[in-house]
């Protein structure tokens, strides 16, 4: 018993210096540094403010980038009627839904999408076919394509998003595809947010391709966002780059109404580097009921090189329903 007491006494005497050596009491506790905490919180809030504004605007105007960030299941359905000068009235119904799989730690989503293949919107250029060559007829109503894919979120932080998905394009015959997408945000001086995105994709019929984009967001006011888009898409099959540059101004008039103004220059490297057309557009979007029923009226004026820069106006009316994911 005496030996045991001696052993315990020696053990505690050896632990005491170790505890004092590794003690963190030298550093002031957090409550002793109120200014540091408030400054850190203010910096974090400012860093996120423009990102959150851009995300809210993207979701309101139905931009795909805003939808990718959310993990909730969502169904988006819309009917759009378009009248292009000199062409017949065209109507189409589209649907896009994603199902969040909750038991995969928010990593997997099933995404089903049916929409027009708009070649001027290269933000989804991995789903676009190569641009038409000069001299070919301009068709503003592109072919509707349907895809079904399983998307996997590889990594996600406040500034990084890394997606990979694989699936099929529902066609005759069905066409499998695979793609990976990396997105990075930077906070720049003068309250500018830079968003860089790199996509690599493969389709059975169209082969490999890649899309690189670098957009700049500037928060003019609490309800105004200026975005300058720079996008280039390359297809291995045609060895052609499609390039889109131009500004967009998003103006949220209220929680229920918004308007956007856009100007785009679209170019191609085949048969030689050139601008193929210029686009000017304005869109008014309004929430009609609750937070899920939208109406959008948009007008587009395009100036195609193939038609000697002749002005071709068009107008569209769209009704959209969003279920979930809000």
Residue pLDDT, tens place only, 153-176: 898 887 889 999 999 998 878 899
The larger pLDDT score, comparing residue 141 to residue 325, is at 325
pLDDT at 326: 58
The alpha carbon of residue 85 and the mean position of all alpha carbons in its chain are separated, in whole angstroms, by 31
Tally the domains of the chain: 1
Mean pLDDT of 127-134: 36
Q: Which domain holds residue 284?
A: 39-323
> 7 lies in a domain?
no
Residue pLDDT, tens place only, 311-324: 999 999 999 999 88
Count how many Cα atoms sit within 13 Å of the Cα of residue 228 in the half-sphere of its side chain: 5
Mean pLDDT over the full length of the chain: 80
Instruction: State the virtual CA torsion across 316, 97, 170, 318 in degrees, nearest 10.
Output: -10
Q: Domain of 194: which CATH number?
A: 2.40.160.40
Under 8 Å CB-to-CB from 143, ≥6 apart: which residues? Answer: 116, 117
pLDDT at 25: 44
Which range among 40-54, 162-176, 197-211 shows the weakest confidence by mean pLDDT? 40-54
pLDDT at 14: 46
Please state, in angstroms and rounded to a whole number, the distance separating the CA atoms of residues 118 and 103.
35
**Residue 42 — pLDDT band, cuts 50, 70, 90?**
low
Residue with tokens 């999408």: 113
Mean pLDDT of 238-254: 96
Q: Please determine, for residue 74, whether its predicted confidence score (pLDDT) is greater than 70.
A: yes
> 226 lies in a domain?
yes
53: three-class secondary structure by DSSP: helix
The total of other beta-carbon atoms located within 10 Å of residue 22's CB is 7
What 8-state DSSP symbol labels residue 277?
A: E
pLDDT at 91: 93
Q: Please determine, for residue 121, whether its predicted confidence score (pLDDT) is greater than 50.
A: no
Residue pLDDT, tens place only, 11-37: 445 444 433 333 444 444 544 445 445
> 242 lies in a domain?
yes
**Residue 73 — pLDDT band, cuts 50, 70, 90?**
confident
> 94 lies in a domain?
yes
Share of the chain above pLDDT 70, in %: 71
Mean pLDDT of 178-193: 93
> 51 lies in a domain?
yes
Residue with tokens 């390359």: 234
Under 8 Å CB-to-CB from 150, ≥6 apart: which residues? Answer: 108, 109, 110, 111, 165, 166, 167
Instruction: State the virtual CA torsion across 263, 237, 208, 215 in degrees, nearest 10.
Output: -20
Q: What is the pTM of this model?
A: 0.75
Instruction: State the virtual CA torsion across 63, 64, 69, 75 in degrees, nearest 10.
Output: 100
The alpha carbon of residue 115 and the mean position of all alpha carbons in its chain are separated, in whole angstroms, by 16
293: three-class secondary structure by DSSP: strand
pLDDT at 51: 58
pLDDT at 133: 36
> 172 lies in a domain?
yes
Tell me how far CA of residue 62 lies from CA of 55, 137, 235, 283, 319, in angstroms: 10, 29, 26, 12, 12
> 248 lies in a domain?
yes
pLDDT at 172: 77
Which range among 27-31, 107-111, 213-217 shows the weakest confidence by mean pLDDT? 27-31
Residue pLDDT, tens place only, 136-159: 344 444 567 899 999 998 988 878
User: Is the Cβ–Cβ distance between 193 and 185 less than 8 Å?
Assistant: yes
Q: Please determine, for residue 118, whether its predicted confidence score (pLDDT) is greater than 90.
A: no
pLDDT at 191: 87
> 49 lies in a domain?
yes
pLDDT at 38: 60
Please state, in angstroms and rounded to a whole number, the distance separating the CA atoms of residues 146 and 170.
5
């Amino acid at each position: 018993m005496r030996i045991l007491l001696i052993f315990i006494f020696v053990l505690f005497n050896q632990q005491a210096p170790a505890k004092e050596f590794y003690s963190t009491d030298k550093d002031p506790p957090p409550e002793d540094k109120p200014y540091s905490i408030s400054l850190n919180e203010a910096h974090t809030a400012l860093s996120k403010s423009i990102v959150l504004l851009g995300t809210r605007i993207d979701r309101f105007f139905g931009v795909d980038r805003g939808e990718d960030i959310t993990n909730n299941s969502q169904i988006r359905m819309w009917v759009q009627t378009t009248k292009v000068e000199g062409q017949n009235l065209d109507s189409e119904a589209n649907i896009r839904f994603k199902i969040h799989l909750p038991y995969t730690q928010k990593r997997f989503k099933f995404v089903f999408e049916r929409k027009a293949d708009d070649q001027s919107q290269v933000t989804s250029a991995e789903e676009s076919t190569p641009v038409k060559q000069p001299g070919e007829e301009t068709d503003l109503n592109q072919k509707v394509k349907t895809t079904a894919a399983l998307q996997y979120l590889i990594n996600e932080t406040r500034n990084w998003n890394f997606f990979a998905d694989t699936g099929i394009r529902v066609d005759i015959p069905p066409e499998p595809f695979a793609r990976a997408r990396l997105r990075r945000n930077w906070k720049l001086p003068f309250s500018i947010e830079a968003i860089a995105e790199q996509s690599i994709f493969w389709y059975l019929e169209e082969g490999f391709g890649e899309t690189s984009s670098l957009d700049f967001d500037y928060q003019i006011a609490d309800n105004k966002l200026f975005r300058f888009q720079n996008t280039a898409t390359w297809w291995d099959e045609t060895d052609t780059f499609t390039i889109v540059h131009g500004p967009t101004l998003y103006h949220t008039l209220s929680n229920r109404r918004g308007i956007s103004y856009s100007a785009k220059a679209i170019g191609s490297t085949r048969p030689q580097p050139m601008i193929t057309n210029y686009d000017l557009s304005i869109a008014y979007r309004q929430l009609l009921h609750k937070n899920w029923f939208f109406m959008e009226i948009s007008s587009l004026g395009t100036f195609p090189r193939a038609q000697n820069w002749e002005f071709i106006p068009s107008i569209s009316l769209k009704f959209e329903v969003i279920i979930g994911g809000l």
